């Protein structure tokens, strides 16, 4: 009985911590959605933005800009991070080089986004302007790629590590080459983990503001090419609040953003669950 009572205190504390996390999440979501959902309408989603100096209007161009920078960052970061993870996990031995690369990724992940943005500004916007078009979707996307890369590299590497060595040996033992083993056995097995890592990265890209602020420009015009400047949703929230105190548009945009992130997370979870089940033969 005494032992049981002593167990009660840590149990209660842990239970409290869990509940607190849940409550905080619900409060934030409820607050954003309660204020944002009423704003959302067909016109809000597809309409032109308000003219300069006015409030209200649609956020169509910002949705497109978010899609553009996110896609670019994903297109750049996904092959790099998955390729890098494969290289680290499958081709290098546990040497100091591997440690250095992994450490570098950790540090990169820890750099404040405004500093990454500063780098993106100096490198892509200024130095590579002839290619990127200066402030542009390309500059923003590439800068975001730097932020996505370390996250998805680490998660991909972890995912590859969880693939049992027996599967690799089994494949090699059948006379498959290393590359065949990786593409036909290792990657399919690690796919759920890798995708999860990429989704985490996408979440980061969609939600990033500071780095975008310095690299994507801020034009509310609908982009015509990736070399145009644009204003992704996060930046729009920042701008309408700081410039016009337009809380309506801010809440609406926030709600769209939150719903988008929720949707992405849930849909990939669902897909990955069924994929994992299929993999496990359930």
Size of the site for another protein (CB under 8 A): 25
Among 66, 70, 156, 189, binds another protein (CB under 8 A): 189
Is 79 near another protein (CB under 8 A)?
Answer: no
As a whole number of angstroms, the distance between CA 171 and CA 195 comes to 23
Is 170 near another protein (CB under 8 A)?
Answer: yes
As a whole number of angstroms, the distance between CA 119 and CA 127 comes to 10
As a whole number of angstroms, the distance between CA 154 and CA 157 comes to 5
Is 89 near another protein (CB under 8 A)?
Answer: no
The residue whose two tokens read 């496990």 is 280
Site for another protein in 93-152 (CB under 8 A): 93-94
CA atoms within 13 A on the CB side of 140: 34
Please tell me whether residue 56 adopts helix, strand or coil conformation. Answer: coil
Is 173 near another protein (CB under 8 A)?
Answer: yes
Among 142, 185, 233, 250, binds another protein (CB under 8 A): 185
Among 113, 155, 171, 236, binds another protein (CB under 8 A): 171
Of 257, 140, 276, the residue nearest 196 (C-alpha): 276
Which residues are CB-neighbours of 21 under 8 A, at least 6 positions away? none
The residue whose two tokens read 């960052």 is 73
As a whole number of angstroms, the distance between CA 79 and CA 164 comes to 23
Among 169, 270, 273, 274, binds another protein (CB under 8 A): 169
Binding segment (CB under 8 A) for another protein, from list 72-80, 177-185, 197-205, 236-244:
177-185
Whether residue 227 contacts residue 166, with contact meaning beta carbons closer than 8 Å, is answered with no
**Cα diameter, the chain:** 75
Is 180 near another protein (CB under 8 A)?
Answer: yes
| Closer to another protein by Cβ: residue 83 or 188 | 188
Binding segment (CB under 8 A) for another protein, from list 20-28, 53-61, 161-169, 265-273:
161-169
Whether residue 142 contacts residue 73, with contact meaning beta carbons closer than 8 Å, is answered with yes
Residue 83 beta carbon to another protein: minimum distance, rounded to whole angstroms? 21
Binding segment (CB under 8 A) for another protein, from list 75-83, 176-184, 202-210, 236-244:
176-184
Binding segment (CB under 8 A) for another protein, from list 10-18, 100-108, 178-186, 204-212:
178-186
Query: Contact residues for another protein (CB under 8 A)?
Result: 93-94, 164, 166-177, 180, 184-185, 188-189, 278-282
């Amino acid at each position: 009985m005494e032992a049981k009572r002593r167990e009660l205190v840590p149990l209660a504390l842990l239970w409290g911590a869990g509940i607190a996390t849940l409550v905080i999440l619900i409060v934030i979501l409820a607050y954003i959605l309660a204020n944002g959902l009423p704003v959302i309408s067909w016109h809000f989603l597809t309409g032109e933005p308000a003219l300069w100096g006015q409030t209200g209007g649609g956020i169509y161009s910002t949705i497109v800009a978010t899609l553009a920078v996110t896609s670019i960052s994903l297109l750049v970061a996904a092959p790099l991070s998955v390729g890098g993870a494969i290289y680290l996990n499958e081709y290098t031995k546990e040497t100091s080089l591997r440690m250095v690369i992994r450490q570098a990724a950790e540090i990169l992940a820890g750099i404040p986004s405004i500093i990454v943005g500063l780098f993106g500004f100096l490198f892509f916007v200024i130095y590579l302007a002839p290619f990127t078009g200066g402030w542009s979707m390309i500059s923003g996307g590439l800068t975001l790629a730097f932020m996505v890369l370390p996250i998805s590299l680490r998660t991909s590497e972890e995912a590859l590590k969880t693939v049992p060595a027996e599967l690799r040996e089994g494949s090699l033992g059948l006379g498959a080459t290393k590359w065949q083993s990786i593409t036909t056995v290792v990657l399919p097995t690690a796919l759920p983990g890798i995708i999860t890592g990429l989704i985490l990265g996408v979440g980061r890209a969609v939600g990033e503001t500071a780095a975008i602020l310095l690299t994507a420009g801020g034009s509310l015009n609908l982009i015509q090419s990736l070399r145009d400047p644009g204003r992704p949703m996060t930046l729009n929230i920042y701008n309408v609040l700081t410039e016009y105190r337009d809380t309506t548009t801010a809440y609406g945009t926030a709600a769209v953003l939150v719903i988008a992130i929720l949707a992405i997370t849930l849909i990939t979870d669902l897909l990955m669950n069924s994929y994992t089940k299929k993999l496990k033969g359930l």
